[in-house]
Amino acid sequence: MSLTLTHPFPGVAQITVSRPRVRNALDWETMDAFAETVRALRSDPEIRAAVLCGADGTFLSGGDLRALHDAVTEADGARLVRVMSDALDDLAALPFPVIAAIDGAARGGGAEIALACDLRVMARDATLGFVQINLGLMPGWGGAGRLLRTVGYGRALLWLTTGEILDAEEACRHGLVERLAPPGGALSEALELAERIASRHPPAVRAIKRTLRAYLEVPPAEAAAAEREAFPPLWVDEFHLQAVERFLNRKRERS
């Protein structure tokens, strides 16, 4: 199988792309499997967090040039854009946090996939680069817009037009990744983070992600209204009421 879906912890899904001979580059079959897996996760109420990784110590490398060698028409290019941009939009819209575990290298479309995740954990010996320009291309899976929102116009233009390769320290310094892991340790760190998030109250986690995405995607007034609407149900949720009671009981015991 070029792609597997596993559940290493309760409430945690792990998507692994396994095409190590081509550094986990995606052929048509793997792209379709990726899109289908994301759609399946969207309808699974048990999932509270997910980790996306590549097999054999490297992340993803975008499209498999050998497998796509016969795709020479504009219609083929449009299909490539449609399948993966839709899949990454669906990935970003999942109701729970998705964490990219970047070991080895994230190149081209692989970097775009990483940016479609909510959080990124990167090994200190890993690298990341938007190298599409080296083939006379540009991002086509939504990566240009995501990079722009993350690092600003100037730096996005610089990296997209030069194909500069970033080490983990630089990627973290510019806000492309949220956590650095020991060499080769991004997956284990990402799974630990996913398990921690999955242990939190799911309605609160989902409301937080939904609200933050609203601030990115709709006018501020609409996002603020969504935040105000999301809070009251959590306030009366049994989980919150019991947590408050436990807090007050501890206070009474100490007094």
What pLDDT is recorded for position 48?
99
What does the pLDDT average to over 189-208? 99
* The two three-digit tokens of residue 103, written as one number: 């070991």
- For the domain covering 3-198, report its CATH number: 3.90.226.10
Q: What is the pLDDT of residue 155?
A: 98
pLDDT (0 to 100) of residue 35: 98
> What number is the average pLDDT over the span 157-183?
98
Q: Which of 129, 115, 131 is nearest to 175 (CA)?
A: 115
Least confident window among 56-65, 103-112, 180-189, 223-232:
56-65
Segment 138-158 shows an average pLDDT of: 98
Kind plus residue range of the DSSP H or E element containing 6: strand 3-9
pLDDT of residue 253: 83
DSSP state of 133: G
What pLDDT is attached to residue 255?
75
Mean pLDDT of 153-168: 99
At 21-39, the pLDDT tens digits run 999 999 999 999 999 999 9
Cα separations in angstroms, 130 against 52, 91, 145, 148? 19, 20, 13, 12
Q: What is the pTM of this model?
A: 0.96
So where are the chain's domains? 3-198, 202-254
Q: How many percent of the chain have pLDDT more than 70?
A: 100
Q: Taking every pair of C-alpha atoms in the chain, what is the biggest distance, in angstroms?
A: 75
Determine the 3-state secondary structure of 239 from DSSP: helix
Each residue's pLDDT tens digit, 65-101: 898 988 889 999 999 999 999 999 999 999 999 999 9
Give the count of alpha carbons within 13 A of 228, CB side only: 6
Q: For residue range 37-73, list pLDDT tens digits in order.
A: 999 999 999 999 999 999 999 999 989 989 898 888 9
Band (146; pLDDT cuts 50, 70, 90): very high
Return all residues near 99 (Cβ < 8 A) that are at least 6 apart: 49, 50, 51, 52, 117, 118, 119, 120, 121, 190, 193, 194
